[in-house]
Homo-oligomer: A and B are copies of this chain.
Amino acid sequence: MSSSHFADRLNQKIKQTKSPLVVGLDPRFDQLPATLKVSVSSIETTQEDRARITAEFCKGVIDVVGPLVPAVKPQAAFFEQLGPLGMLALAEVVDYAHAAGLIVIMDAKRGDIGSTAAAYADAFLGRKPASVWGCDSLTINPYLGDDSLTPFTKIATERGAGLFVLVKTSNPGSKTFQEQKVDGQPLYAMVADHVQTLAAADLGQSGYGSVGAVIGATHPQQLTELRSLMPNTLFLVPGLGAQGGTAADVAGAFDENGLGAVINSSRAIIFAYERDQFAGAGSWQAAIEQATIETNRQIAENTSAGNL
C-alpha cells in the first residue's frame, strides 16, 4: 500500500495543498496572544493555566493553517518546559492536528543507543495506536553514530513513519563541528552521505525515502549541493523567516517538480500578530492566516514549488 509510506503521504499532501510549508508550533508562553490570557492572573500563572493556554493557542493555529499547509512541526521543548501537563497538552495538539488532516513532524531531536533509541522510536513513530504520541515523523540527532540510527529507521519503516536526521543546522554555531573537515569534506557531507544511503534503503513510489535530512535555510549553496548529492532524501529546511532565510534561499532544496523539501517557518507565522505587516489583520488568527498565505506565495514565486 503505497499510501502508507511516509514520503508518499507527505508528497501527496504537498500536492493537495500546493504548498511545501510546514508551520512550526513553538508556543513560547510569553509571546502567546494576550486575548488567550485574559482569564489568568498576571501575578501567578499556574502550570495548569500555562498548559491549557498553550494547547488552546496551538489548536487555534491549526484551525487556521490546516487547509493551507501539509504539515505542522511541534517543538517538544516548549511543551516539556511546562512539565507533565505540557506533555499532556502536546498529545492533545498532535491529535488535533491529525483531525485537521495535517501531517505531524515532531521536532524533538532525539538520539540514543540500542534499546533506548528503540524506546524513543517506539514512543513517537507511527500514528496511534502504533505509538503513544502518534507522530508521522521525528527529528533525530546523528552524533552517536550509525548503530544509534538503526533502531529509528527499522521502526520507521515498519510503521510507515518518517525521520529527519540533523545534517546541517540553521544556527551560526553549526560550523563548530558540522563544518570541520574530514578527509577534505565537511563532517555534514559525511553525515549527508550516510543519510542518503538510509533514504535509498526504504523508497516510496515518489522516489523519496522515509529518512530525510534537516538542512538549514541559512545555507542556500549547501542546499543546492546537497540536493544533487542526496537525490532520494527529503529535506526539512528550518530557518525561514525569523532566522533570516528567505524564500529565494531555499530554492535549491527542491527538485524540478517542486517536491523533495518541506520548508519550516515558526515564529514568523505563529507570532505574525506581533509583526507590523500583519498588525491590521484584526485578530491573532487572521494575522497567522495572512502570514501563511504570504509565505506560501513567496515560496511559490521563488522556487519550483510554484509548479505544484
Which A residues lie at the B interface, using CB under 8 A? 26, 28, 47, 75, 77-78, 80-84, 86-88, 90-91, 109-117, 119-120, 122-124, 132-133, 141-148, 166, 169-178, 180-183, 187, 190-191, 194
CA distance A182 to B101 in the complex (A): 46
When the two chains form their complex, are residues A132 and B47 in contact, meaning their CB atoms are under 8 A apart?
A: yes
* Copies per assembly: 2
Query: Which residues on B sit within 8 Å (CB–CB) of A181?
Result: 182-183
Distance in Å: Cβ of A132 to nearest Cβ of chain B: 3
Whole-angstrom distance between the Cβ of A76 and the nearest chain B Cβ: 9
6 A-B contact pairs sorted by A residue (CB < 8 Å) = A78-B119, A81-B120, A83-B87, A84-B88, A144-B174, A146-B173
With known contacts A77-B116, A83-B132, A84-B84, A169–B182 Cβ distance under 8 A: no
Alpha-carbon gap, A191 to B173, bound state (A): 13
| Residue numbers in B under 8 Å from A194 (CB-CB) | 176
Distance of A144 Cα from B114 Cα, bound (Å)? 22
In the assembled complex, which residues on chain B have CB atoms less than 8 Å from the CB atom of A84? Answer: 84, 87-88, 90-91
- Residues of chain B within 8 A (CB-CB) of A117 are 77
A174 to B143 CA separation, bound complex (whole angstroms): 8
Give the residue of B109, B116, B147, B178 whose beta carbon is less than 8 angstroms from that of A112: B109
In the complex the two chains form, is A177's CB within 8 Å of B171's CB? no
Residue pair B169, A145 in contact (C-beta under 8 Å): yes
Is A145 in contact with B174, judged by CB distance below 8 angstroms?
Answer: yes
Say whether B173 contacts A133, CB under 8 Å.
Answer: no
Provide the bound-state CA to CA distance between A47 and B122, in Å.
14
> How far apart are A187's CB and chain B's nearest CB, in angstroms?
7
A123 cross-chain contacts in B, Cβ below 8 A: 77, 80-83
Q: Is the CB of A177 within 8 A of B81?
A: no
Contact status A26-B116, CB under 8 Å = yes
Question: When chains A and B are docked, how far (Å) is the Cα of A296 from the Cα of B194?
Answer: 41
In the complex, which of the residues B86, B112, B180 contacts A77, with contact meaning CB atoms closer than 8 Å? Answer: B112
Whether B132 pairs with A81 at a CB distance below 8 angstroms is yes
A120 contacts B172, CB within 8 Å? no
Q: Is the CB of B145 within 8 A of A173?
A: yes
Q: Is A142 in contact with B26, judged by CB distance below 8 angstroms?
A: no
User: B190 and A173: CB pair below 8 A?
Assistant: no
- CB A183 to nearest CB in B, in angstroms, measures 8
A88 to B86, CA, bound (A): 10
How many Å lie between the Cα of A119 and that of B181 in the bound state? 31
What's the Cα separation between A117 and B109 when bound, in Å?
11
A120 touches B87 (CB 8 A): no
Partner of A171, one of B81, B113, B171: B113
A273 to chain B, nearest CB (A): 18
Whether B178 and A145, one on each chain, are in contact in the complex, defined by CB atoms closer than 8 angstroms, is yes
- Provide the residues of chain B in CB contact with A166, threshold 8 Å: 143-144
Chain B residue with minimal CB distance to A86? B132
Q: Is the CB of A190 within 8 A of B171?
A: no
**Using Cβ atoms and an 8 Å threshold, which residues of chain B touch A147?**
171-173, 176
